[in-house]
Amino acid sequence: MSQRYQPKAEDKFTFGLWTVGNTGRDPFGEPVRQSLSPVDLVHLLAEVGAYGVNFHDNDLIPIDAPPGKRAQILREFKNALNETGLVVPMATTNLFSDPVFKDGAFTSNNSEVRAYALQKTMKAIDLGVDLGAKVYVFWGGREGTETDAAKDPVESLKRFREALNFLCDYSLGQGYDLKFALEAKPNEPRGDIYLPTTGAMLGFISTLDHPEMVGVNPEVAHEHMAGLNFTHAVAQAWEAGKLFHIDLNDQAFGRYDQDFRFGAVNLKSAFFLVKFLEDVGYEGSRHFDAHAYRTEDYEGVKQFALGCMRTYLALKERAAQWNSDPQIQSLVKEIMKTSAVPVEVYSEVVADQLKSRAFDRTDMAARGLAYERLDQLTIELLLGIN
């Protein structure tokens, strides 16, 4: 493997404890890898050159840990961060593993479960902030249904909104410097999850009491599971000033939730995504929410993590090449020529002029756009043959 593409801190590559810590359990089989402690995982991530580590409250501290054990784990984890220089840019809550959340957390029909979810999240926010997190992710894995006989979808949205409003006020009341990032997913583990796409989340955010502190955490696999173009979802979030975080991985369309290594399936989509993030100057973490194939041992897990970062860096380099490639850029210039005239701002006069203007529809329609050539040049650049 080329010595280029070595990850550096400024690349802001982060992984969840649950990603490199994934032991390969799936609905059909038992774990294939021994579970590593958070401290071991921090060292593994440091070894492969990651910048940061993120976690769910219970990735770090078991749900039933007594106070003494909790303090010890925290001390050891902080030591590992100090030794390695890894940071914690993001934290989140596990509101899906424990059986109490079998019908959701914030949208559960049971108000006691909803109150417990709030309590658990407040404590997890305290923990994340204590470790330096500036972004707090909400992924409502169980916030959905298998049958719409069970839950009222309007009521569920209201409950979800109330919970987020409560937690925004909590964070502000504590004086935390924290932003919330909502992560959409269409299904898995529920039959259907509410607010299934990034676009749906963006619509929902504007209904909150503190929309300014809430953005999104789009994930490649989640939009692909819904058959959508991920870069378009990210672009919408970016344009709205709401791209607070991003979950990078890969996923074949129409399959189960695969969480593959970044770029493993849709290399061309990954290229346009990286190009987008780099072109607009996204400054947040490049977080990999993926895991190694179940066939791997921990050497394979390291290769998986390295692979995510190397592919990102290689695609970033290709994006810079694309931006300076003479053939590609002259085609882009040609395309932009016809799009350079903006649609006028409305006035009665402008509208009248536009209504009486003569258009040569046939001539406009007859022009070939050379997108075939542009796309092939892109492909050849990705293949390293031009």
Catalytic residues: 56, 59
Is residue 179 within 8 Å of 242, Cβ to Cβ?
no
* Nearest by Cα to 14 from 227, 369, 349, 308: 308
What number of helices (H) and strands (E) belong to the chain?
Answer: 15, 10
DSSP line for 314-375: HHHHHHHHHHH-HHHHHHHHHHHHTT-SPPPPP-HHHHHHHHH----HHHHHH----HHHHH
Considering beta carbons, is residue 60 or 137 the nearer one to ligand GCO? Answer: 137
Binding mask 45-64 for ligand GCO (x = CB under 6 A): -----------x--------
- Between CA 188 and CA 223 the distance in angstroms is 13
- By beta-carbon proximity to Mn ion, the closer residue of 179 and 318 is 179
- Please report how close the Cβ of residue 296 comes to Mn ion at its closest, in angstroms: 19
Choose the one of ligand GCO, Mn ion, none that binds residue 92, judging by a C-beta under 5 to 8 angstroms depending on kind. Answer: ligand GCO
Residue number of the CB atom closest to ligand GCO: 139
Note whether 151 and 186 are within 8 A (CB): no
- How distant, in Å, are the alpha carbons of 1, 174, 385 from that of 214? 41, 17, 43
Which residue, 198 or 378, has its beta carbon nearer to ligand GCO? 198
User: Pick from 134, 185, 291, 318: which binds ligand GCO (CB under 6 A)?
Assistant: 185
> x/- site string to ligand GCO, residues 282 to 301, per CB under 6 A?
-------x------------
Smallest distance from Mn ion to CB 183, Å: 5
CB of 219 to Mn ion, least distance (A): 4
The footprint of ligand GCO on this chain (CB under 6 A) covers a number of residues equal to 11
How far, CA to CA in Å, does 50 sit from each of 14, 44, 47, 334?
6, 9, 8, 41
| Binding at 137: pick from ligand GCO, Mn ion, none (beta carbon under 5-8 Å per type) | ligand GCO
| Tokens (6 digits) for 327 | 């053939």
Q: With CB under 6 A as the contact rule, which of the stretches 45-53, 133-141, 143-151, 275-283 interacts with ligand GCO?
A: 133-141
The enclosing H or E element of 181 equals strand 179-183
For 110-123, the three-class secondary structure string (H helix, E strand, C coil) is CHHHHHHHHHHHHH
DSSP 287-310: EE-----TT--HHHHHHHHHHHHH
Q: Which residues of 19-39 are buried (b: 16+ CB within 10 A; e: fewer)?
A: bbbbebeeeeeeebbeebebb
Q: Cβ 222 to ligand GCO, closest distance in Å?
A: 7
Distance between CA atoms of 379 and 364, rounded to whole angstroms? 28
Query: Based on CB atoms, which residue is closest to ligand GCO, 216 or 328?
Result: 216
Binding status of residue 257 toward ligand GCO by CB under 6 A: yes
With CB under 5 to 8 Å by kind, the binding choice for 88 among Mn ion, ligand GCO, none is none
Give the residue, chosen from 11, 57, 219, 250, that forms a contact with ligand GCO under the rule CB under 6 A. Answer: 219
Residue 80: CB minimum distance to Mn ion, A: 23
Site string (76-95) toward ligand GCO, x via CB under 6 A = ----------------x---
- What minimum distance in Å lies between the beta carbon of 231 and Mn ion? 17
CB of 103 or CB of 183, closer to ligand GCO: 183
Residues engaged in binding ligand GCO (CB under 6 A): 56, 92, 137, 139, 141, 183, 185, 219, 247, 257, 289
